[in-house]
């Protein structure tokens, strides 16, 4: 059994916001994550759980502090899980050289290329190792799990849902990197983590995945029209076309005046939490 250490716990909207750390086999070192338990879970009652995947440069604190999600999660009885965005301090040369690759930029996949494959196994970490730790230590309903995220984390939410629909019954995203094979962020990450095999890249590109294996879940995606990364990095129109081609249920909402920041996330976070609560029967 993995040893779970409590870093801190605070009362929040009659629930508990906690931060935790543990040794990780998948990532070869210590990992940290956050969990919000709503008041309904404090008696031990099993509740639906939604995992949030954050974007480039973020930590487990980013969403926890900036999104304003706990108030609504408390009302709906949703447990929230916030993992880190990558291993930290793995000792790999170059891991801290740029904001869009390495530390805080794990892209929620398992690297196949040395030296990254030793530590950068975020798909296994999120979908297996962390999921097992959360199930063993918190009162989750294992049959009612969802996933959502922002930017790089939106990419992760879409791809991990499509790759693991049996685990994540609901999915949504804010400003996701939805066609990473066709944008600089994705190309840089895929080339370094996965090598030059573009077939391997396709297995982690939401637009390619949805064409090959659409899910039954209705995807909710919010995107700001004033997002500075919209045209070069995010490309929601490619993902929308793929959803239409595959018959994937989805709703893409484009919002005038909104950018890529957590002010945008705050504005629509309640809609996303209610989307997951309805899908998971909260």
What is the residue-averaged pLDDT of the chain? Answer: 97
Beta strand 250-255 with 219-224 is: parallel
Catalytic residues: 151, 227, 260
- Binned at pLDDT 50, 70 and 90, residue 53 comes out as very high
Nearest partner of 69 among 172, 218, 219, 177, judged by Cα: 172
Distances (CA, A) of 258 to 28, 53, 154, 263: 38, 20, 17, 8
Ranges assigned E (strand) in 157-213 = 170-174
Q: How many domains does the chain have?
A: 1
Label residue 14 left, alpha or beta by phi (over 0 means left) and psi (-120 to 50 means alpha). Answer: left
Q: Which residues pair with 8 in a beta bridge?
A: 19
Query: Domain range for residue 100?
Result: 5-280
Rounded-to-integer distance, Cα 251 and Cα 172, Å: 9
Query: Encoding tokens for residue 202?
Result: 């396709």
Please state, as a whole number, how many other Cβ atoms lie within 10 Å of the Cβ of residue 199. 8
- CATH code, 29: 3.40.50.1820
pLDDT in tens, 170-221: 999 999 999 999 999 999 999 999 999 999 999 999 999 999 999 999 999 9
pLDDT in tens, 100-152: 999 999 999 999 999 999 999 999 999 999 999 999 999 999 999 999 999 99
């Amino acid at each position: 059994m993995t040893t779970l250490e409590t870093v801190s716990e605070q009362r929040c909207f009659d629930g508990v916001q906690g931060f935790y750390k543990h040794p990780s086999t998948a990532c070869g070192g210590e990992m940290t994550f956050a969990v919000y338990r709503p008041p309904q879970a404090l008696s031990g009652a099993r509740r639906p759980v939604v995992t949030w995947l954050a974007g480039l440069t973020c930590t487990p604190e980013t969403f926890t502090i900036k999104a304003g999600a706990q108030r609504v999660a408390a009302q709906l009885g949703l447990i929230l899980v916030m993992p880190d965005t990558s291993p930290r301090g793995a000792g790999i040369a170059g891991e801290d050289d740029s904001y869009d690759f390495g530390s805080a930029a794990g892209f929620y996949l398992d690297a196949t290329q040395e030296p990254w494959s030793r530590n950068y196994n975020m798909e296994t970490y999120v979908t297996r190792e962390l999921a097992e730790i959360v199930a063993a230590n918190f009162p989750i309903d294992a049959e009612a799990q969802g996933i959502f995220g922002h930017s790089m984390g939106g990419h992760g939410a879409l791809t991990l849902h499509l790759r693991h629909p049996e685990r994540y019954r609901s999915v949504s995203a804010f400003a996701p990197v939805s066609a990473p094979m066709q944008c600089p962020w994705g190309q840089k990450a895929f080339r370094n983590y996965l090598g030059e095999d573009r077939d391997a890249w396709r297995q982690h590109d939401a637009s390619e995945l949805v064409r090959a294996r659409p899910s039954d879940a209705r995807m909710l995606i919010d995107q700001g029209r004033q997002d500075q990364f919209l045209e070069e990095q995010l490309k929601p129109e490619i993902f929308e076309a793929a959803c239409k081609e595959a018959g994937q249920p989805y709703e893409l909402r484009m919002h005038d005046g909104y950018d890529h920041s957590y002010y945008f996330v705050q504005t629509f976070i309640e809609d996303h939490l209610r989307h997951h609560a309805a899908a998971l029967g909260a």
